[in-house]
Structure 1
Amino acid sequence: MLFRGKSVDDISAMLQTMIYTVKPLRKKEHIVNEGETADHIGIILSGQVEVQKNHSNGNNVTIARLGRGQTFGEAVIFRKENVYPATIIAPGNCCVMFISKQELLRLFAADTDMLSSYMENLSERLVMVNQNIEILSVGSLRKRIVFYLLKQADQQSSNTLKLPFSRKVWAELLNTARPSLSRELAFLRDNGWIDFKGSEFTLLNREGMEDLLEKFKRK
């Protein structure tokens, strides 16, 4: 997100003057721990990272999964209390580029386009948080599933869509257990609303799904 709109040559020239580190990470390795000071942002160069919230009962909930080109730490690095609110781990081998707060400030002063890209990224993250809140506020688990599938169908411009993550991550996003998610999906399939195979879903009764949500809105 820092380098949006820049050519490969522009980026290569910038990297010659930047101070940064690149770190390869192994599967299950912790990148940052909840409560640590956020004094760098991370840019994922390859692989994926998981943002997890650890609860006192020992359960870990995946809040987000980020892939190549995405960043972490940018939302907290400039806060007064700049500590990570969650733990970030590598679910598999990955590689991350780290840029310090001081280096970011130097880059922003030298290139206002980079500052604009940074602010745009923060705005997109805020929209994602609001979307997650919207999903959880819809009502029952069945309604949350229907709401999410309809949203994905709109975003992918097709009634046949592919989930962007695993069932486990989807269950965590919907704030439910995976077996409960599986039961509701089976109900929707058995009643002719949807069909699915693996991560690919087809909406068979979109009108009925939309009507379910309209009934919720009218309450």
Structure 2
Amino acid sequence: MYSSIASTLIQYPLFSCFEKEYLSDVLERFSIYPNLCRKSTFLHSEGDPCKFMDVLLTGELEIQKIDENGNLLTIASFFPISSLGENLMFGDSNIYPMNAFCPVDSEVLQLDRDFILFLCSENQDFLLALLKDISGKALILTDKIKMISHKSLREKIFEYLARESTAQKSSKVKLRTSKKDLAQLFGVQRTSLSRELAKLRSEGLVEFDAESITLKKLENWT
């Protein structure tokens, strides 16, 4: 069993610095094995203390929050192989700010602080990869907070498209992600995003297809 888990883990860049045999031995030494999170159940609830770094081996995890109007929003989705919790478990205020929900049956490997600290002490490459991972997730979280807070959906769309247009040096913005993921970035339901894009198109401000959004009337975007 541990050899199989190790084979899966080393596919994740964070653990790719280890040999399978070594990682298998350490997993067995710490008695770490996957937990099954059943469909439509919560892996963690808002306010729970974060005691583990969760590595998703199979299935899917959604980070959810309820907005001020009572709407359920999916802020982020995780698919194999990915992790969450490593940016919380070592903090003084290690409390989950949102719910972690399993929309399908999912296998999760829960790695505690002692296990992670042991790997850090054994392998500097792992330590550096972990710090890079935590830093990257902090930046992603900052971007999402900016998008979600204190702006209308139209303002968020304008800001995102203007930034991408500048970066791509084109009024035709090629989407780097799906519209579902964009809706998550903006903190809204996908239907709300589609409705607002349709309004912008009816006003002659954009044209769009499945892969791109073209900015019209460019004087309105600067």
Fold shared by both chains (TM-score > 0.5): yes
Whole-angstrom CA distance in 2 between matches of 1:15 and 1:24: 20
Local SS of the residue matching 2:95: coil
From 33, 41, 62, give the equivalent of 1:29.
Answer: 41
3-state DSSP of counterpart to 1:31: strand
Aligned to 2:207: 194
CA contact (8 A) 2:62 2:75 kept: yes
CA deviation vs aligned residue, 1:106-155 (integer Å, no higher than 9, x gap): 11111111111111011101111222234347954223123334656758
Alignment-mate amino acid for residue 47 of structure 2: G
Residue 40 (1) aligns with residue 40 (2): no
Q: 1:205 maps to what in 2? A: 215
Which residue of structure 2 aligns with residue 17 of structure 1? 26
Gap regions ≥5 residues in structure 2? 1-12
Q: What RMSD in Å do the two structures reach over aligned CA positions?
A: 3.1
Aligned residue number for residue 94 of structure 1: 106
**Residues paired across the two proteins, number:** 203
| Alignment partners' CA distance in 2, 1:36 and 1:137 | 23
Give % identity.
Answer: 26
1:58 Cα offset (Å):
5.2
CA distance in 2, matches of 1:70, 1:165: 21
Partners of 1:159 and 1:16 in 2: how far apart?
48
The one-character-per-residue Cα deviations of 1:46-104 (angstroms, maximum 9, x if unpaired) are 22201122468754332221122221111110112322222111112222111111111
For residues 49 and 198 of structure 2, what CA distance do their matches in structure 1 show? 44
1:164 Cα deviation from its structure 2 partner:
3.5
CA distance in 1, matches of 2:65, 2:150: 23
Quote the Cα distance in structure 1 between the aligned partners of 2:67 and 2:201. 33
Query: 1: distance between equivalents of 2:54 and 2:21?
Result: 18
Q: Contact 1:143 / 1:213 at 8 angstroms: preserved in 2?
A: no
The residue matched to 1:21 in structure 2 has which SS?
Answer: coil
Whole-Å Cα distance in 1 between the matches of residues 159 and 26 of structure 2? 47
- 1:180 shift after superposition: 4.2
Q: Is the Cα–Cα contact under 8 Å of residues 51 and 88 in structure 1 kept in the other structure? A: yes
What residue number does 1:143 align with?
155
State the partner residue of 2:9: none
Alignment match, 1:217: none
Q: Secondary structure at the match of 1:30?
A: strand
SS in 1 for 2:128: helix
Cα distance in 2 for residues equivalent to 1:152 and 1:46: 33
> SS of the residue aligned with 1:204?
strand
Counterparts in 2 of 1:165 and 1:74: CA distance versus 1, 3 Å:
farther
TM-score by length of 1: 0.76
SS at 1:38 equivalent: coil
Question: Equivalent residue of 2:89, what SS?
Answer: coil
Cα contact 2:64–2:98 (8 A) shared by 1: yes
CA-to-aligned-CA distance 1:2-22 (integer Å, 9 cap, x gap)? 314x36xx1343122222221
Partner Cα separation in structure 1 for residue 33 and residue 192 of structure 2: 43
